[in-house]
Amino acid sequence: MLMPAPDSNTIAQKARLAAALAELLPPESVIADPIALKAYESDGLTAYRQAPLLVTLPRNTAEVSAVLKFCAANQVKVVPRGAGTSLSGGALPLADGVVLGLGKLNKILEIDLENRCAVVQPGVQNLAISNAVAAAGFYYAPDPSSQIACTIGGNVAENSGGVHCLKYGLTTNNLLGLEVVLISGEVVRFGGKHLDACGYDLLGLMTGSEGLLGVVTEVTVRLLKRPETARALVAGFGSSEEAGAAVAAVIGAGIIPAGMEMMDRPAIHAAEDFVHADYPLDAEALLIVELDGPGVECDHLLLQVTEIVKANGATSLRVSESEAERLKIWAGRKAAFPAVGRISPDYYCMDGTIPRRRLPEVLKRMAELSQKYGLRVANVFHAGDGNLHPLILYDANKPGELERAEHFGSDILRLCVEVGGVLTGEHGVGVEKRDLMPEMFSELDLNQQMRLKCAFDPDGLLNPGKVFPKLHRCAELGRMHVRGGALPHPELPRF
């Protein structure tokens, strides 16, 4: 993975920079020791590693501001980092960059149930928010599978999803306000406890901007009332076409389930071998549908979904009659990644979204690619919203297999775009999909996004090398000549 060329001058000044930062922060909040720095060399995408120049661990907004202001003044690159669970390399350090870890900003500042919101610092774990309000019957809806570890600041940066986002939305639909520190050190606030922006929706823009626009130091999240009950059903199908048709029919009937997940045969077998969830091993596709709400609603909708699933050729069907049975149905799906980890030394998790109606074709072509690359693939699928997670099985110890897995993954994502989908549904672009961005966006599309980055970070110091395949100087992107009636860009490419 090619990253921006490290600036040898910055690297040479490491000791001076560390000493100066240690004057802005408590000395223990600045890490310069090479062995201690190793802990930060990668995130959840472990295939890429790079020790940072320095790590800083500020304790509050003022210290974050001081670090950013210092880095801007010294033209030092900054890589913000939450819990480091990114699957796209969003927090991959730079050899000449300072990692800005937000782990010490880990307090829940306020729980305001009257206004159905909580104000938290970015280093608070996703699940900790729900736990803090559980006794009052509330929760925070987005539930990425890493929710026991990942932090809300990282969720904002990546616009994280989860298995319930078809009904309850992604992170961006569940935020009310942010406090953000710009690279200049300036502290700005977007939103609050009220709804809608009072000018441009910079809260919406910040969400999912992958640490390239600013550093989030406070988050106001919406809290929802936890549904009274939830029930799940699991059905086996003889083909992915039939399972896909069942999903379309459920939505066609006007039902938006709390969760709707599919798994293919390899994923079913891996999960069943691991956790014994009583999945049907003869099925080509497995569908899990969860409904939530008052008991009367769950029962009513479950009856409808059961009829739909049967009508679409389910070969097996089981409905949860207790909370224990519901959890058992989910156990296999939730353990799918580690289950695949058991049958292969390594796996590579992809994250494209496709129009659901193209699923059978995508699975067929993925099987062909699997043959071509000589690597197995297992699929889990957020079926409701078309978000596909192919898991490519490989062995990093076998020479060339990682590269083959990466090429296979790239081909899968190209396929997603080709059928009318996108490169990433919830994991982010990071470094992983950076070089595939031109598959989805034209040069003009990317230039517009990069000009927006320039509006926030004119020197390109925040998380450079992520998201955009080419680095441009802001002056070059902003250039526009209009002379005497001549069109500025007569050579403009047209769609």
Partner 1 sequence: MELLSPASLEEAADCVRSALADKAPLEILGASSKRGFGRPVDAVKQLTTAALSGIVSYHPEELVLVARAGTHMDEIAAALEEKNQFLAFEPPDFGALYPGDDAGSNRTGTLGGILATNLSGPRRFKAGAARDHFLGFTAVNGRGEIFKGGGPVVKNVTGYDLPKLLAGSFGTLAVMDEVTVKVLPRPEKTRTVLLYGLDATAANAAMTKALTGSYDISAAAFLPEIQAQASDCDYVGAQGSVTALRVEGSGPVVEHHCAALRRDFGGATEELHSANSIALWREIRDLAPFFDIDTILWRISVPPAHGAGVAANCAIDIPGSNFLLDWGGGLIWLSIPASGGAHAEQVRRAFQRCGGHATLVRAPEAERRKVQVFEAEGARALTEQVKLSFDPERMLNPGRMFEGI
Residues 219-238 that bind partner 1 (CB under 8 A): 225, 228
Q: Which of residues 39-78 bind partner 1 (CB under 8 A)?
A: none
Which amino acid appears at position 395 of this protein? D
Q: Total number of residues binding partner 1 (CB under 8 A)?
A: 104
User: Residue 286 is encoded by which pair of tokens?
Assistant: 């497995």
Confirm if 425 and 351 have CB atoms less than 8 A apart.
Answer: yes
Closer to partner 1 at the Cβ: 179 or 272?
Answer: 179
Cα separation, 39 vs 54, whole angstroms = 12
Closer to partner 1 at the Cβ: 10 or 126?
Answer: 126
Out of 61, 74, 115, 344, the only residue in the binding site for partner 1 (CB under 8 A) is: 115
> In this structure, what DSSP letter does residue 73 have?
H
Range in contact with partner 1 (rule: CB under 8 A) among 51-59, 265-273, 337-345, 444-452: 444-452
Out of 198, 321, 397, 400, the only residue in the binding site for partner 1 (CB under 8 A) is: 198
Does 195 bind partner 1 (CB under 8 A)? Our answer is yes
CB of residue 178 vs partner 1: minimum separation in angstroms? 9
CB of residue 170 vs partner 1: minimum separation in angstroms? 7
Q: Which of residues 452-471 bind partner 1 (CB under 8 A)?
A: 452, 454-456, 467
**E strand spans, 284-407:** 285-293, 316-319, 346-349, 352-353, 377-382, 387-394
User: Residue 15 is encoded by which pair of tokens?
Assistant: 């000791």
Does 312 bind partner 1 (CB under 8 A)? Our answer is no
Q: Which of residues 170-189 bind partner 1 (CB under 8 A)?
A: 170, 172-173, 180, 182, 186, 188-189
Which amino acid appears at position 5 of this protein? A
Closer to partner 1 at the Cβ: 51 or 467?
Answer: 467
Closer to partner 1 at the Cβ: 291 or 369?
Answer: 291
Does 113 bind partner 1 (CB under 8 A)? Our answer is yes
CB of residue 211 vs partner 1: minimum separation in angstroms? 12
CB of residue 194 vs partner 1: minimum separation in angstroms? 4
Does 111 bind partner 1 (CB under 8 A)? Our answer is no
Q: Which of residues 136-165 bind partner 1 (CB under 8 A)?
A: 137, 158-159, 161, 165
Q: Tell me the HSE value of 482 on the side-chain side, using a 13 A CA sphere.
A: 2
Does 192 bind partner 1 (CB under 8 A)? Our answer is yes
Does 379 bind partner 1 (CB under 8 A)? Our answer is no
Q: Tell me the HSE value of 180 on the side-chain side, using a 13 A CA sphere.
A: 26
Chain CA centroid to CA 313, Å = 34
Out of 34, 199, 399, 400, the only residue in the binding site for partner 1 (CB under 8 A) is: 199
Closer to partner 1 at the Cβ: 51 or 182?
Answer: 182
Out of 107, 194, 364, 473, the only residue in the binding site for partner 1 (CB under 8 A) is: 194
Which amino acid appears at position 130 of this protein? S
Cα separation, 495 vs 493, whole angstroms = 7
Does 135 bind partner 1 (CB under 8 A)? Our answer is no
Does 438 bind partner 1 (CB under 8 A)? Our answer is no
Cα separation, 121 vs 107, whole angstroms = 5
Confirm if 45 and 434 have CB atoms less than 8 A apart.
Answer: no
- For the stretch 413-435, what's the b/e string if a residue is b when 16 or more beta carbons lie within 10 angstroms of its beta carbon? bebbbebebbbbbbbbbbbbbbe
Q: Which of residues 3-42 bind partner 1 (CB under 8 A)?
A: none
Does 420 bind partner 1 (CB under 8 A)? Our answer is yes
Cα separation, 134 vs 259, whole angstroms = 20
- For the stretch 208-217, what's the b/e string if a residue is b when 16 or more beta carbons lie within 10 angstroms of its beta carbon? bbbbbbbbbb
Range in contact with partner 1 (rule: CB under 8 A) among 8-16, 48-56, 145-153, 378-386: 378-386
Q: Dihedral angle at the C-alpha atoms of 135, 136, 141, 146, nearest 10 degrees?
A: -20
Cα separation, 103 vs 85, whole angstroms = 13
User: Residue 98 is encoded by which pair of tokens?
Assistant: 């300072």
